Amino acid sequence: MIENILEKFDINIDHALQVKSYAMMIFDAINTNTNEFSESDRNYLKSAALLHDIGYSIDKKSHHKHSLSVIKNLDMEEYSTYEKLIIGNIARYHRCALPNVDKHEDYAALNESDRIKVSKLAAMLKIADGLDKPHKNLITGISAEFDDLSIVFHLKTMGFVPKVEMAVEKSDLMQQIYNRDVKFSCE
């Protein structure tokens, strides 16, 4: 179980749980509009969100790369070797470089449809991680509105306006994969 894995590694469990919560809200908001993801995809994102910082146990600066490596080698009976590669790639792209089939061997090892899926799920994880940068748990709900030019995420809060600068910065992959501007509004 992933909860047991989290306990073995020196990571911020509260942050992992909050990023998972935001990632699930984003997933549900996007899937409501696109209906393109399965329950398996939701579980991949959930696991990647919980494990995205697991690479800190090796190196803080390149933890996203190490997270991929660690996830690939974890003993998770519920996932096949290939599924761990999917989850690891989602976690790997929660920061820094965008997925690149020519430069990233583990990403290239996925079939084309899974590379697209990983890119979309990683885009959700990046934004979820960015939304938790203040570590204040201010967001209680997320909905999304799509049009031809943009995706607007409506953030329901507990009466406070969350800082979204980091989420805006980390929306680059979402903008690229959906070919739309990404915006945030607080309710």
End-to-end CA distance of the chain: 36
Q: Which H helix or E strand runs over 136?
A: none
Residue type, 175: Q
Which tens digits make up the pLDDT trace of 75-109?
898 999 999 999 999 999 998 889 988 899 999 99
Q: What's the average model confidence in pLDDT over 36-49?
A: 97
Question: Counting Cβ atoms within 10 Å, is residue 135 exposed (0-12), middle (13-18) or buried (19+)?
Answer: exposed
Confidence band for 42, pLDDT divided at 50, 70 and 90: very high
Q: Please state which CATH class domain 2-134 belongs to.
A: mainly alpha
pLDDT greater than 70 at residue 118: yes
pLDDT at 134: 65
Q: Residue 185 and residue 56: Cα distance in Å, rounded? A: 32
Q: What's the average model confidence in pLDDT over 10-19?
A: 88
Q: What's the average model confidence in pLDDT over 146-170?
A: 90
